[in-house]
Structure 1
Amino acid sequence: MERKKLLELRKKFGLTQNQLGEKLGISTVYVRKLEKGVVNPGRDTLLKYELFFDKDMRELFPDIFFDKNDKKLIKNNERVI
């Protein structure tokens, strides 16, 4: 799942993947994989992105914080109650 917010913010800041990687202290390849959703960031990388872009990590990486089947989970929990 492509992380469009990361791509939008990087472009808004006028940065290439290489430039962002240098500013965050991570590789260009890692930046690319994060944007494409191929890999998930570690805690340190989450914090670097959050501080650099001044955005909550849940907004930057929604796919790792929210279940895609949220409605299904809510529906199942309602049955249990």
Structure 2
Amino acid sequence: MIKKDKSEILKLFGKNLRKVRESKGFTQEQLANELGLEISQISRIERGVINTSIYTLYQVSTFFDIDVNELFDLSE
């Protein structure tokens, strides 16, 4: 198993979030409003700039009705 560094993991996580969000037909603004977050926070998560909280991860997976593992596909 090849280990990935923090930056790479955050970017892959963000890419997965973007893919799920777009597949469900939501903009960053709509998702932010639904979760009570700033649009800029969604943007920073999707770009891999920040390490989001476990609670935000829970909110996203619950809102989109997905297993959190979908957001952690780090196979790229």
TM-score relative to the length of structure 2 = 0.69
Aligned-partner SS, 1:39: coil
Matches within 5 A, 1:38-77: 38-62=49-73
Tell which has more relative contact order, 1 or 2 (C-alpha 8 A, sep 6+): 2
- Offset of 1:62 from its aligned partner? 4.9
Q: Identify the residue that residue 15 of structure 2 maps to in structure 1.
A: 4
1:50 deviates by: 1.2
Q: Which residue of 2 aligns with 1:74?
A: none
Separation in structure 1 between the aligned mates of residue 72 and residue 52 of structure 2, nearest angstrom = 9
Tell me the TM-score normalized by structure 1.
0.66
Amino acid of the structure 2 residue aligned with 1:28? I
Identity %: 37
Rounded to whole Å, the distance in 1 between the matches of 2:51 and 2:38 is 14
The runs of 5 or more residues in structure 2 that have no matched partner are 1-10
Which residue number corresponds to residue 33 of structure 1? 44
Cα 1:4–1:58 change in 2 (3 A) is same
Unaligned runs of 5+ residues in structure 1 are 64-81
Larger Rg: 1
